Amino acid sequence: GQRGRTFTPTDLLDYIYAVLHSPTYREKYKEFLKIDFPRVPYPKDKETFWKLVKLGGELRQIHLLESPVVENYITQYPEDGDNVVEKPRYAPPLEGDSGGGRVYINETQYFANVPEVAWNFYIGGYQPAQKWLKDRKDRTLEFEDILHYQRIIVALTETNRLMKEV
C-alpha cells in the first residue's frame, strides 16, 4: 500500500539509518567513514527504499530500547546473590545450556543464554555488552539494571540479525 505514498522525514531518517548499518556499505566506504561524512546512496527503486525504511525503523527503535522486541528477553538471570559486578567474563555454552553462553558478573551470578555474537558485538568502536558491565565494576546491580542489561542483549542480537537483512 506504499505505492503513491510520499515519505516523511522519519522515513528518510530510517532509510539512512538502515543504509549506514549495511555491512556491504560499511565495507565499501570503510576509508571514507573514517575521515568524512558518509555518502548515502540514492535508493535503487521504491521497493528497496521502503524495505530499508522498515528495517531502519526497527533498528532505530531497538537502539533506543523503545521497540517492544527488546522486552522479549532471550536471557535469564538465574542465581541469587549480592549482584555486585566483580569481573565480568563470558563463558561458552555448557552441555544442556540452550543456545548462548553465560556472562558472569561475579563468581556465582551470571546472565544465562547470552549469544556470543551479542557479547562480542561492536558499535562505534566499543562492545556495549562488555562496556556496560565494566563501567559498573564494584557496583551492585539493581533489579532495573538487570532488566536493562537483558534489553541490551536483545538489542545487540537483533541488530546483528537485521544488519544481515539490510
Report the alpha-carbon distance of residue 32 to residue 40 in Å, rounded.
12
Q: What is the mean pLDDT of residues 44-52?
A: 96
Residue 62: which pLDDT band, with cuts at 50, 70 and 90? Answer: very high
Q: What is the pLDDT of residue 2?
A: 59
Closest C-alpha to 40, from 59, 16, 60, 57: 16
Rounded-to-10 torsion of CA 122, 105, 161, 53 = -70
Residue range 1-16: average pLDDT?
A: 85
Which three cell numbers, joined as nine digits, stand for 70? 527488546
Separation of alpha carbons 166 and 159, rounded Å? 10
For residue 165, the number of C-alpha atoms closer than 13 Å in the C-beta half-sphere is 16
Is residue 59 exposed (0-12), middle (13-18) or buried (19+ Cβ within 10 Å)? Answer: buried
The reported pLDDT for the residue numbered 159 is 96
Average pLDDT, the chain: 93
